[in-house]
Every structure is written in C-alpha cells, then in structure tokens.
Amino acid sequence: MLLCISQATRIIMADEVGRMKYELASSTWNEEEKQAILEVINSNIYTMGRNVKEFEERFAEYFGMKYAVMANSGSSANLIAVASLFYKKENPLKNGDEVIVPCISWATTFHPLQQYGLKLKFVDINLHTLNYDVEELKKAVSKDTRMIVAVSILGNPCQFDEITRLCKENNIILFEDNCESMGARFNGRYTGTFGLVNTFSTFFSHHISTMEGGFVLTNDKEIYNLLKSIRNHGWTRGQDEDSPIFEKKGDDFFEAYRFILPGYNVRPGEIHGAIGIRQLTKLNDFVKIRRRNAGHFVSLFKDDERFIIQKEIGESSWFSFTMIINPELKIDRKRILQKLKDANIEHRIITGGNILRHDVIRYYDYTVTKSTNADIAHYNGFFVGNHPYDIRDKIDYLYKTLKNI
C-alpha cells in the first residue's frame, strides 16, 4: 500500500505548513542525498542503470531475500507484482479469480487487482490493530480463494503466523503489501518477506525516501524475471542469462527489441537509485527513532478512553499515530479535527479509509463479508504524523491540545 501525502497537497497547504507546529511528514535527506543527485547529473546517465542495480542488490540483501526489482512507485510495484502472477507458468492467476483483501488500505492496493479482472472479497479489520480481523479472515476463505493480500497497516505487522498457516493449508498465494511498514518485524522477521511477492514504497513520506519509488521482493526466479520484463516495456533486455521466461534466439539485432509480455514503462531513474543507496544505510536508525516516539505517544494516550490507539503487533515501524474516537462516547469528530486545525497540527484520514465508501468501488467486482470496524475507523478515525527524529515535544503538544476536549 502506497500511502500518499502528496507534494501537490503540501504545496497547496504551503502557508499552513509554514506555521505548522506538528507536521504529517518530513524529509529524510541531508547533504549525502544531495551529493548523490549531483553525481548522477554529472555522469549524464539518468535512466535506469548501475545505481538502480546496486540499490536493488542492497535492498534484497538487507531484507534477506534473493531478488529485488525497483519500480517508479509503490503503486507501480503493486501493479507489476499482480501482473507477474498472471504470467507465471504454473497455476497462474486468471480473470475472475477470488482474492481476499482488507477493507482499509491505500487505493492502489486494490486498483491493480480490479484492473486485472480479479474478484475481490473484502474482510473487516480489527479495530485495535487496524489489520485483518483474523477470525473474519478465516471465515472468508473459500474453495475459490486464490490469493490473500496481507497489508501491514501504518507500520504494524499483520499476524503472519495465522495468515501464512491459512495460505499453506489452503494452497493460497500470499501477496504482501508492505508499502507502509518498511523495517517492521514479526517474530524477528521483517515484514515484506512472507509473501510470494512483497511490495514496498520509497515515497517522500515513507520510512526511506527516493522522491518516488517502490520495490517488489521475491525468492522466485521466474517471477523475478517476469517483474523485470513487465517493468520495462515487456521486452527481453535485462533478463538473466538463464531466464526461465523465454528462449533467446540467434539474431542479436532482433533480440535487442524483442517483446514477450504486455508490459509497462515503470522504471525508476538513476537519481532514485543513488538516493536509495544512501537512505537504506539510515533505515535502522530511522525506525529506532520512530519507535521511541511511539513509546511516548502510547504512554500518554493508552489510558484515554476517548480514543482507540493502534495496538502493536510484533515490532511496528510506526508510520504514524492513529486515533479512533470511541464510538460509545458520541464525540463529534469534526470538533476534534477543528481543534487540531486551530492548533496547527496536521492530520488526515487513516490511510485511504474504507475503500467501500469511495466512489471508485462501483467499478469493482466484489463481495463484502463484513465492514463494521472499517466503517468506524473511516468515520471516527484520523492520524497524526510520526518522524525519523525526536518529536516527543510535538506529541506533548498534541496531548495538551486534546486534553480538555
């Protein structure tokens, strides 16, 4: 899931952001990243090349996976990951196959599934973790279920022990959308490594930033080569020498422009790769600081009966701090949000809210098992930012602002 706090939005809000006391997001760059950009400019090589390749290799190694494919966004990573599952040789996905998804995620978790003609079955969330309600997920699995999309919401790992067991027992593909949760761990293992395909985002507001960017991780050699082709026009250029997805012909003149799949151009640029190499070295420290900030947030709000705050599973990388107004107390969210606005505390809906409540759902082929908690989060929830630097003073300011409402 690519959680978009767009630069366009921030430009529109420039005057407000200029006097914001507590922002949603902040830059993770310093002089190292600026120097990396200059080095690429001075090289006069801007399209995907050695910097992207090095970043891919380091990214795969960091997370203990065999293969990494970088794309120009987390949304594009989701797109090519879904596409790859349609073109694999054994038991590919087909138009009309049933895929289970959570009601809450970013829109481009869902759109590629719709665009490839899959039938979505929406399952409710747990109001405290914001991830799947695991009991509802178990009930949703049918003989027709081909894939489960596991989304670790806002840094918080899914219950992968239960989900992986469910997939294994029912021969179901696990697709992990980890765009919001880079650096999180479940039982000591990084999220974004449990699925057949696993996606990440390196957008501005995420755990590391390459301006725009995304990744797919996999341990499957066939899918790795499919991803590389689909990312790059669907051609054979850049394939492994022993690629299992095509047989090379003798005519090098033709091979240079041979198209084997209906692909896209979602390549990253060399600038993105160069920045990413620097950013990845900082991820561990960024997550440590986010977790320290989260400890302070939880200590202040854990006993506040007005709000349901996110319950951590495993080791969250704490993208943000969610607050859901207790539906039993009948507190008007508009009043809370106005208080935040008056205090210059930036805030927004939780990810994309419940996708079932958006106009785009009319284009989907879908069923719903239940969405009670997703609706509560959609209509009663909001989040404020977390950052890769110490913001305990901002969290104190948030607490004081909301204390007497």
Residue 240 · residue 85 · CB < 8 Å = no
Residue 112 · residue 86 · CB < 8 Å = no
| Cα 243 from Cα 214, distance rounded (Å) | 23
| Cα 211 from Cα 209, distance rounded (Å) | 5
Q: Are strands 381-385 and 119-123 parallel, antiparallel or unpaired?
A: unpaired
DSSP codes, 173-215: EEEEE-TT-TT-EETTEETTSSSSEEEEE--TTSSS--SS-EE
Using only C-alpha atoms, what is the Rg of the chain?
A: 21
**Residue written as token pair 């507001």:** 205
| Cα 205 from Cα 256, distance rounded (Å) | 38
Residue 128 buriedness (CB in 10 A; 0-12 / 13-18 / 19+) = middle
Q: Comparing C-alpha atoms, which of 147, 153, 77, 79 is closest to residue 114? A: 79
Q: Comparing C-alpha atoms, which of 370, 372, 399 is closest to residue 384? A: 399
Q: Comparing C-alpha atoms, which of 208, 194, 207, 242 is closest to residue 319? A: 207
Classify the C-alpha dihedral 115-118-124-125 as positive or negative.
Answer: negative
How many residues are there in the chain?
Answer: 405
Residue 210 buriedness (CB in 10 A; 0-12 / 13-18 / 19+) = buried
Query: What is the helix, strand, coil percentage profile of the chain, to 5?
Result: 40, 20, 40
The amino acid at 279: Q
Residue 181 buriedness (CB in 10 A; 0-12 / 13-18 / 19+) = buried
* 206 is an active site residue: yes
The torsion angles phi and psi of 351, rounded to 5 degrees, stand at: 45, -120
Which among 206, 207, 272, 387 is annotated as catalytic?
206
Q: Which residues are catalytic?
A: 206
